[in-house]
Structures are given as C-alpha cells and as structure tokens.
Structure 1
Amino acid sequence: MSHWQQLTEFVVRLPHRAGELARLTAQLRAAKVEILSYYGPTEGRSADGFHIIPADAEQFREFAAKIGLGTWEESCFHITGEYRGGDLVGTLDAISQEGINIQFVNAFEFGGHMGILIWVDDADVDRLTKLLSVV
C-alpha cells in the first residue's frame, strides 16, 4: 500500500561561487532541518535555483528567515511505498486519466521501496489531492 503527502518545495538562489551549497548544507544540518529532497540547480521550471523539500515546511521557513535566505514555494506530492513493478506507470496513468498536467516528476526505487515526487500545475493541486485520497 502506498502513502502520499502534499509537501512544500522551496527554491533558493545561491551565489555562483565554490562552497555556497556546502555552506547552506552545513547550516541546515546545524539547525537540524530534516531534508527529504535536495537537488539543483535546474533551469526551465519556475526559475533557476536549488530545490529543497524539507520534512517540516514551517521549520524551513523559520530557518530561511533567520539567515536571510530568499525563497519561493511550490506544492509537490510525495508518494512512497513498497516497490511493485508498474507503480510509476499506474500512478502516471491515473493522473493523466483525470486530465491533470504533470510539470515534473522524480521517481526512484531502492531496496524494495519506491518514492515518487510529482509537481502539477497550481490549478491541478486540489484535483490531484482528491485523486490521491481515493486511490
């Protein structure tokens, strides 16, 4: 059985200098901010930047405010569960059958477990929430 939750992704711009990402990562660790996903930089989505999905969005907001880190936020969905072949295809098919546009997806399998991160258009967030609630 899969579990899902709606999360908040924070996008941050960092100076293009050696050590900036390491410095931010050390600050996150020192503040005990648990990170579920951390990647970047990316181009062509909402904007260039590093993408951080914390376990606790409010804790991350407080951390960012304390160090003066500018961010912007997007909703995303995190689906986890035991890996069974075809889970990704089935999930994407169910979403497409509802006419929901996926902006970005990141899926992985490790040690018999799977994880899927999905971003949809803002107009489709409520529809995906409803779909995942009944699947």
Structure 2
Amino acid sequence: MMLIEESGMAIWKRLCDYQIDLEDRPGELARLTSMMRAADIGIIGIVTHGQRGGDTTITCVPESAEQFQDFLNSSEQKATRGEVFLVMAPDSGGTLIQVMEHVAREGINIKNFHAVVIQGQFGCLVWPEEGSNDTLEQALASL
C-alpha cells in the first residue's frame, strides 16, 4: 500500500511516471499490459497519447517505481521517467474546480491533467509545468 500525504480536503502523493513509445497498431497496449501483469506490476493509471502518422505515447503510473524500473530493465522496454501527482478527495460536487482554483492561485501551469469520479471519490493525475513540482507539492499540502 502506498503512503499518501493528507491535507484538509484531499490526499495526494508525488509519484514517478514512465513514458513509453509504442507502435500505433492494434494489440500493442494489450501486449505491454500483459507483460506488466506477468511481472506483477501494480498500476495506478495508464494514459495514452496517440499521434498522427506513427507511434503512440503511453504514460504509466506504477505503484512502485523501483519495481517498474526492474521490469523495464528485464524487458528491455525503453521509457522516459518523470513525475506526476495523484490527488484524491471525496467528491462533494465541485471538487475538481476547488483543486484547479487552488493550483491556479499558486500560479502553477498544468501541462496535462486526467480526472475521474467513481462512487463518490474524485481522483486526478496532475502533470505541472517543468520546474513546478515543488511548488505544486506545497500547494497540495495546503488544500
């Protein structure tokens, strides 16, 4: 179980993510996720970014960065490591807006964002502009 920081309204964690380029064809994501399952990799999220005329970028957010790095080394799968923030909170109607307004007040530019509400729980993955991770961490701590 991963440890998550708690603030007033939300829980959050700074995590590693991995960007993997795959051929844009049927079955590639299934192949990659089957390999991860065989390696017993726990995944918090997967986001795909298709591009015209070529590859697809898959962003994986694993539960354990160390285990995922071992998987990459043993599978010879190439990836670029980065950072992402996971934010979770009870959805009280407007939770997304509250989080975004709070981040905006701190002057943080968000480069990528994926959110979902499931069974009354809000969750999002947040990728801030390069160089803003520490500022976002401080902002999330004061939610």
Q: Give how far 1:17 is off.
A: 3.9
Match of 1:103 in 2: 111
Match of 1:30 in 2: 38
Distance in 1, Cα, partners of 2:39 & 2:21: 19
Match of 1:3 in 2: 11
What SS does structure 1 have at the residue aligned with 2:124? Answer: strand
Match of 2:67 in 1: 59
Return the structure number with greater helix share. 1
Residue 71 of structure 1, aligned match among 60, 76, 79: 79
Distance in 2, Cα, partners of 1:28 & 1:48: 18
Contact 2:16 2:62 in 1 (8 A): yes
Post-superposition CA distance 1:106-129 (Å, at most 9, x none):
111011111011110121100011
TM-score, L = length of structure 2: 0.85
Gap runs ≥5 in structure 1? none
The change in CA–CA distance for 1:42 and 1:17 in structure 2 (over 3 A counts) is: closer
Root-mean-square deviation over aligned CA pairs? 1.8
The change in CA–CA distance for 1:108 and 1:16 in structure 2 (over 3 A counts) is: closer
Distance in 2, Cα, partners of 1:129 & 1:102: 13
What fraction of aligned residue pairs are identical, expressed as a percent? 30
Gap runs ≥5 in structure 2? 1-8
Post-superposition CA distance 1:26-78 (Å, at most 9, x none):
110011100111121345xxx95111111111111110111001100221110
Match of 1:83 in 2: 91
Match of 1:130 in 2: 138
AA at the equivalent of 2:137:
T
Residue 113 of structure 1, aligned match among 92, 107, 121: 121
